[in-house]
Structure 1
Amino acid sequence: MDYKAAFADALDKVRAEGRYRVFADLKRHRGRFPNATWTRPDGSTSEVVVWCSNDYLAQGENPVVLDAMKAAIDEAGAGSGGTRNISGTTRYHVELERELADLHGKESALLFTSGYVSNEASLSTLYKILPGLIVFSDALNHNSMISGIRGGRGPRQIFRHNDLAHLEELLAAADPAAPKLIAFESVYSMDGDIADIPGTVALAKKYG
């Protein structure tokens, strides 16, 4: 077996399909959100505006946030030294989880390393907790949700994007006794579409 050739062929296929990723090399500038310096592969640079960001409210530049981060680093150093299971939970994380739980009126909260990981872990775990679970997933759900649903290895139904009539058809045809979950987004970040949350909740209640 020529292993190097196999990997080279796989990369060539990804490139041919237009799926080979080259990440933008960006250096953001404090106080000039959302501007950044882009360094091209040849080493040349130019100023750009970053139109895509998860820092929706620009809290990454909020002086209160920055001062709190600096204080935490001065007090505890950088990094947690390992996973929670091995090296324990950072006190700041415990305090943040309590604050988030209080904000949402819940008993407790759990932080994840990213929104992607939280979606993936939550959806795959629900299949294990609820045997026979059927997930009804919007066709344009984020890949993190799709990955979590696939990871659960249980039955799933895909309904047309934001089409509650199609969703209801699928719900009505499903086993009434089976546990069900409707997976959808409030705002679809790739398209900017807004879901009909009250309508979806009504269907969830109607079909258990």
Structure 2
Amino acid sequence: MRQVVLATHNPHKVEEFQAIVAATRPDLEVVGYDGPEPVEDGTSFAENALIKARAAAAHTGLPALADDSGICVDVLGGSPGVFSAYWAGHAKDAAANLNLLLDQLSDIADPHRSAQFVSTIALVVPAAGAAEAFEHVVEGVWPGRLAKAARGAGGFGYDPIFVPDEQPTALERSVGEWTAQEKNEASHRARAFRALAPLLAAL
């Protein structure tokens, strides 16, 4: 089985990526990254994803995937965006991030609570022999809106307040109320990975 390293120390992301990858490439094993974290000083999801993938590929010698993702709220001009993980400070406190965002939107009516999860995935294949290093970036967007209160115990991050557009209006479940399989089939990461899958065929 061929290994590909995912440039994250977040075990939830490793599990989620393994499930997504297994649907089309069961011969690939996604392994977590145990090296030093690079400074993510990019100003876009794509820049940060490449920074992480390059670091993981250089440290391990393996093909590396890196996801930089976040929630983009229209009424906030696309924020938190690349600052989603640090919205309430550098402690990366997911509950604090979620509660701060809810508080900032507390007076915003439903028609103006549109948002989208965005995932940018970078693939970096290190140079081997005569072959040059290869880099590619894809993006997945999952449109929806933000609920006024967290619902459900599933998922992580902002999942409990994100209500995807593509579901029956009568249900309107937050992603925190979805099963892992439902999320892995429809999420922003799944959408980005589908765009990346043809490139993985070369691994």
Structure having the higher strand fraction is 2
Which protein has the larger Cα radius of gyration, Structure 1 or Structure 2? Answer: 1
Normalised by the length of structure 1, the TM-score is 0.28
Q: Give the structure, 1 or 2, with the largest relative contact order (CA under 8 Å, sep 6 or more).
A: 2
